[in-house]
Amino acid sequence: MKDLFLILTIAAYAGSLALYLRFLNTGKEITGRLGTLFLGLGLVAHYFALLERSRGLHTVPYHDLYGSMSLFGWLLALTYLGLELFHRQRSVGAFVLPFIIVFFVAAHLAPADRLSPAPARGVIFAFHVTLSILAYAAFALSFVFSLIFLGEERLLRSHKLGDIVWRLPPLELLERMSRSSVLVGLVAIAIGTALGFVWVDRLMGQIWYYDPKYVITLLVLLLYVLYFHLARTASWRGARASKLCIFNFFVVVMSFTVVNLYLSQSHRYF
């Protein structure tokens, strides 16, 4: 069946979202665990959907915009699952799953034109791209955590609790998860960028040639290092650090859009 993995992925992610929402509502451990299980199943099905798409188009997932988006969604899900297992907390699943579903659905339902085969660029290049997308997925997660943090913090300080506050994850958990997520992103972007330089060196015989993408990637790296450091200091911990994290993600989005589309010569979809 042609769209088997597509359907399975959507079903598993939708099931996971429904279960996470129910977990948020009722606090029943079993529904949370089932949510995690469905997310895991979704990841497996998503992997095969990516594979199927790449085979069908005779290219790698990151060769076009939609493929990159789907890979981004997959890495987002993978990073979230890792964080969830590490922090043993499931209450943010309901907030992350919609992003994963949007990326997956948008990527796979878009018309896929037959592309020219991707040039063979080797393992180093593949790792460079995959780790870079992983980093952006991790930064996107920290952005989501920071947004929830700021919203919840504002509600708690203004005493306007409404129905929602009782369902949101604790503030300190959001801070911790955001920091962990940024750490994953930092490690991935550092290694990914280094591999990019190695690949350029092999291809062109020189490590450095000017590309605005380098500048903005360096800026992203520095901004997240700054966040990681400041988030644990007395004057920044809490809302200020979350605001910085949100700002940082806007720089990431700039890197993805303006820089990739209009300024960079060698980067297109990652």
Partner 1 sequence: MEIVLVGLNHRTAPVEVRERVSFTAEQSRKAADELRSRGILQETLVLSTCNRSEIYGVPPESSHECAPGLSSFLSEFHAVRADVLGLSLYHHYDREAVRHLFRVSAGLDSMLLGEAEILGQVRDAYRFAHEYGATGPVLNRLFQGALEVGKRVRSETELGTRPMSVASAGVKLAERIFGKMNERSALVIGAGTISEQVVNQLRDRGIARLFIMNRSRDRADELAIRFGGKVVGWGEWETALKVADVVVSSVASEEPVLRREILQGAMSARGNRALFLMDLGLPRNIEASVAELYNIYVYNIDDLTEIVEQNRNARESEIPRAETIVDEHVGKFLSWQASVELVGLVDALRARLREERAAFIHARMDSMNHLSAAERERMESMMDELLEKLLLQPAERLRGEKELRRKIQNVEALRDLFLSNREKP
d(CA 255, CA 270): 9
Fill in the DSSP letter of residue 164.
G
Least Cβ distance, residue 172 to partner 1 (angstroms): 5
**Chain residues in the site for partner 1 (CB under 8 A):** 25-26, 28, 89, 152, 156-157, 159, 161, 163, 165-166, 168-173, 233-235, 237-240
d(CA 100, CA 98): 5
Least Cβ distance, residue 33 to partner 1 (angstroms): 16
Contacting residues for 180 by C-beta, under 8 A, at least 6 apart: 83, 86, 87
Least Cβ distance, residue 45 to partner 1 (angstroms): 29
Q: Choose between 8 and 168: whose C-beta lies nearer to partner 1.
A: 168
227: enclosing H helix or E strand: helix 212-230
Least Cβ distance, residue 91 to partner 1 (angstroms): 9
Instruction: Annotate 81-96 with three-state secondary structure.
Output: HHHHHHHCCCCCHHHH
Q: Choose between 158 and 206: whose C-beta lies nearer to partner 1.
A: 158
Q: Choose between 28 and 121: whose C-beta lies nearer to partner 1.
A: 28
HSE of 253, CA atoms in CB hemisphere, 13 A:
8
Least Cβ distance, residue 125 to partner 1 (angstroms): 42
d(CA 208, CA 224): 23
Q: Choose between 89 and 264: whose C-beta lies nearer to partner 1.
A: 89
Q: Choose between 166 and 210: whose C-beta lies nearer to partner 1.
A: 166
